[in-house]
Amino acid sequence: MALPEASLCLDRLLLSGFGANYGKQRSLGLVELRCGLRTLGNGIKRCGFRSVSFCRTDERKNLTKRSCFLRCKCQKADSVSGLTADDGRPTSLSINGKTNVNNVQELNPLYQSDGGGFTDGNTNGVGTVDGRKIEEEAWDLLKESVVYYCGNPIGTIAASDTSGSSILNYDQVFIRDFIPSGVAFLLKGEYDIVRNFILHTLQLQSWEKTMDCHSPGQGLMPASFKVRTVPLDGDDSVTEDVLDPDFGEAAIGRVAPVDSGLWWIILLRAYGKCTGDLSVQERVDVQTGIKMILKLCLADGFDMFPTLLVTDGSCMIDRRMGIHGHPLEIQALFYSALLCAREMLAPEDASADLLRALNNRLVALSFHIREYYWIDMKKLNEIYRYKTEEYSYDAVNKFNIYPDQIPSWLVDFMPARGGYLIGNLQPAHMDFRFFSLGNLWSIVGGLATVDQSHAILDLVEEKWSELVADMPLKICYPALEGQEWRIITGSDPKNTAWSYHNGGSWPTLLWQLTVACMKMNRPEIAEKAVILAERRISRDKWPEYYDTRRARFIGKQSRLFQTWSIAGYLVAKLLLANPSAAKVLITEEDSELVNAFSCMLSANPRRKRGQKGFKQPFII
Ligand code: GLC
């Protein structure tokens, strides 16, 4: 039993070659790597890979873990002061660039070009909100949230809430939570932490991922990880830092983090775009990591649709909320990650099949989402008049949707101007809820057409008091209530109506909203949202989420000093000051894709059925 595991460790270890760019040659390099087997309480052995830093006990004596972090923070303060890339080159992106600030000021007279940010025009005498102070505070908090591994910055803690609520796993570095932190650091020219995060999480990929004797497919990225400082092999005088990942095997509900690998690819591309340093994405181990994620996502299954089939809670909404199947958020991230990966994959024979599969999937996926997930007034009226039980290749109502499914709230909610992508589509089932992240990232990644992207932002404007109200932005709309809440959430007391994932408002979504607005050249929407956030967010201690229909209360079980609320705000501010920086996250359709897509539209795949050479594995 031990041997294959140990050799797997070594394989992985040899492949990773962390600590140096080995090009095509594999080598262990200078960093000492340890591989061992640990026995869990349940008797399962897991293979633990450890990158070791030796610290003498006298250095660490009397330091609690918390104070060790503080010590690390002191080190960090020295290293972050210079805004240069790790190779000493000057950074390419300026922050608060003067020209851009002036643009914003033209757009919004409330914006103070001296760095003061926005004045609050809506406080009815409450006074001016000092945007600059809030921004400074946010940077301080973000830097304090940095987690160190072997003395190097590696990520940010999910929340630094000392108010007494149970810490659960909020003391860990979450992959999805780190993305806005990483983007904020990149835009500020602090590249090391992002590079370290990318390379260390790569080493965790598919590493310890066994639950009750079952191991999911290779390529899975963890949801989160923790840096533990432990005595080295029982020797109390020396300690080592150990990375302890969680692939969902310890998470509440044991949810698989499908979004982690997709976000990792998106951040990797942003790192290359921002720094101009492509050597990270060109490394053999990084290329292998990209391919492993792609293979896992592109693997054949029983599915008939080009969308990714996932279980409930596999993304930001990481508990039961009725989003199993083909949720929009995962599809938007999947599409965006496919485009990013295509840009970064080194052309070589070995990847030809993978690239072919990737290209096919991109076209089929965008057709499927644009066609079947889209609703506006016109489409809603079509669904209202659908015929059902159509058996044929040219059925209009392909998924056999019963018009009675149209919920009464939607009849009022759907504006004459605007539209959106629904939350999920399955046989005889449309989830009509509006999910913010999925819609916004469909704009950013180009899964939605240009017209659809504008229409989504139109809807956000039209439905401002429902989707934004007192704090940007509702995670979804509307909330599940009563019997529906009981059946769909399983009577989850954390997800009661208009709280947490069930219609709660999440300040972190400000950054995705801002990137989408920048792509569509509509910064005024993001500005309005930032003004609103600045009225309360610092005073309320940067909560994780807000409750109630209008987001008036700090969330019932909301953590304070939630890092991605802080980082999300900072990314929004950085992008408003320098809109062109959004390009590191944006992807556009290239002409190849547009051509393939229009061929698909003009051809009726059913007519082509049976034609020799035609292979369309998905329902599009
Ligand atoms: C909550 C959120 C999840 C986030 C985690 C850490 O569980 O639902 O999206 O990653 O907290 O902040």
Say how far apart CA 267 and CA 269 lie, in whole Å.
5
pLDDT (average), residues 544-554: 97
- Pick the residue whose CA is nearest to atom 3 on ligand 1: 316
- What is residue 305's predicted lDDT score, i.e. its pLDDT? 93
Mutate to test the pocket of ligand 1, among 165, 316, 494 (most ligand atoms within 8 A of CB): 316
Question: What is the predicted pLDDT for the residue at 206?
Answer: 66
Nearest CA to ligand 1 atom 9: 316
The per-residue pLDDT for 617 is: 57
Q: Please give the distance, rounded to the nearest whole angstrom, from the Cα atom of residue 153 to the centre of ligand 1.
A: 21
- Averaged pLDDT for residues 72-90: 30
Residue 437 pLDDT level (bands cut at 50, 70, 90): very high
Q: For residue 570, what are the contacts with CB-CB under 8 A and spacing of at least 6? A: 135, 138, 139, 142, 180, 184
Which phi and psi angles does 120 have, rounded to 5°? -85, 105
pLDDT mean over 285-300: 94
Whether the pLDDT of residue 529 is over 80: the answer is yes
Cβ of residue 174 lying under 6 Å from some atom of ligand 1: yes
Closest to 188 in 3D by CA, of 180, 200, 198, 176: 180
What pLDDT does residue 210 have? 60
* pLDDT at residue 620, as a whole number: 59
pLDDT at 39 (0 to 100): 29
Q: Residue 165: its pLDDT value, please?
A: 67
- Angle, helices 98-107/563-577, rounded to nearest 10 degrees: 90
Report the atom number in ligand 1 closest to the C-alpha of 318: 8
d(CA 208, CA 291): 19
For the ranges 40-44, 310-314, 446-450, the lowest mean pLDDT is seen at 40-44
Q: What average pLDDT score do residues 374-394 get?
A: 93
Which protein residue's CA is at the shortest distance from atom 6 of ligand 1?
158
Amino acid at 353: D
Strand partners, 435: 476
CA distances from 293 to 8, 66, 256, 536 (A): 18, 34, 14, 39
Residue 105 makes CB contacts below 8 A (sequence gap 6+) with 111, 112, 113
Q: Tell whether the model's pLDDT for residue 490 goes beyond 90.
A: yes
pLDDT at 362 over 90: yes
pLDDT computed for residue 374 by the predictor: 98
Instruction: Reduce the DSSP state of residue 348 to 3 states and report it.
Output: coil
If you average pLDDT over residues 520-535, what whole number do you get?
Answer: 98
**Measured from the CB, is residue 177 less than 6 Å from ligand 1?**
yes
Contacts of 252 (CB under 8 A, 6+ apart): 168, 318, 319
Range with lowest mean pLDDT among 49-58, 314-323, 351-360, 468-477: 49-58
| Partners of residue 505 on adjacent β-strands | 474, 546
pLDDT of 355 > 90? The answer is yes
- In this prediction, residue 72 carries a pLDDT of 31
Residue 208 near residue 246 (C-beta atoms within 8 A): no
Percent of the chain with pLDDT over 70: 74
> Looking at the chain, how many residues does it have?
620
Say whether pLDDT at 107 is over 90: no
Model pLDDT for residues 325-354, shown as the tens digit of each residue: 999 999 999 999 999 999 999 988 778 899
CA dist., res. 152 & res. 226, Å (int): 14
Q: What is the pLDDT of residue 212?
A: 67
CA of 282 to the centre of ligand 1 (A): 31
The DSSP-derived string for 94-140 is: -SS-HHHHHHHHHH-TTEETTTTEE--TTSTTS----HHHHHHHHHH
Cβ neighbors of 71 (< 8 A, separation 6 or more) are: 63
Predicted confidence band of residue 302 (pLDDT cuts 50, 70, 90): confident
Q: Which of 166, 318, 437, 475 to mutate to test the pocket of ligand 1 (most atoms within 8 A of CB)?
A: 318
**Contact between residue 211 and residue 222 where contact means Cβ atoms under 8 Å apart:** no
Residue 131: what pLDDT? 86
Residue 126 above 80 pLDDT?
no
Residue 209: band (very low, low, confident or very high) from pLDDT cuts 50, 70, 90: low
Q: Output the six-digit token pair for 396.
A: 């209009």
Would the CB of 320 count as within 6 Å of ligand 1?
A: no
Instruction: Please state which of the ranges 71-75, 314-318, 465-469 shows the lowest mean pLDDT.
Output: 71-75
Is a pLDDT exceeding 80 seen at residue 557? yes
Pocket of ligand 1 contains residue 559 by CB under 6 Å? no
- pLDDT for 540 equals 97
Tell me the pLDDT of the chain averaged across its residues: 79
What is the rounded CA–CA span in Å between residue 183 and residue 199?
16
Quick one: average pLDDT of 549-575?
97
Please tell me the distance between residue 409's alpha carbon and the centre of ligand 1 in angstroms.
28
Residue 120 confidence (pLDDT)? 42
Amino acid 182: pLDDT: 98
Q: How many CB atoms lie within 10 A of CB 544?
A: 25
200 is written with which tokens? Answer: 């260390």
| Cβ of residue 158 lying under 6 Å from some atom of ligand 1 | yes
Give the tens place of pLDDT for each residue, 581-612.
Answer: 999 999 987 777 777 777 766 765 444 443 44
> What single-letter amino acid sits at 356?
R
Q: Which atom of ligand 1 is nearest to the CA of 317?
A: 8
State the distance from the centre of ligand 1 to the C-alpha of 615, rounded, in angstroms: 40
Kindly give the number of the ligand 1 atom that is closest to the alpha carbon of 544: 12
**Which residue has its alpha carbon closest to ligand 1 atom 4?**
316
- E strand or H helix that includes residue 267: helix 258-275
d(CA 544, CA 560): 6
Task: Look at residue 573 in the predicted model and tell me its pLDDT.
Answer: 98
Query: Looking at per-residue confidence, does 219 or 512 come out higher?
Result: 512
CA-closest candidate to residue 158, choices 573, 571, 561, 513? 561
- The amino acid that residue 293 corresponds to is I
Residue 134, pLDDT > 70, answer yes
pLDDT surpassing 80 at residue 116: no
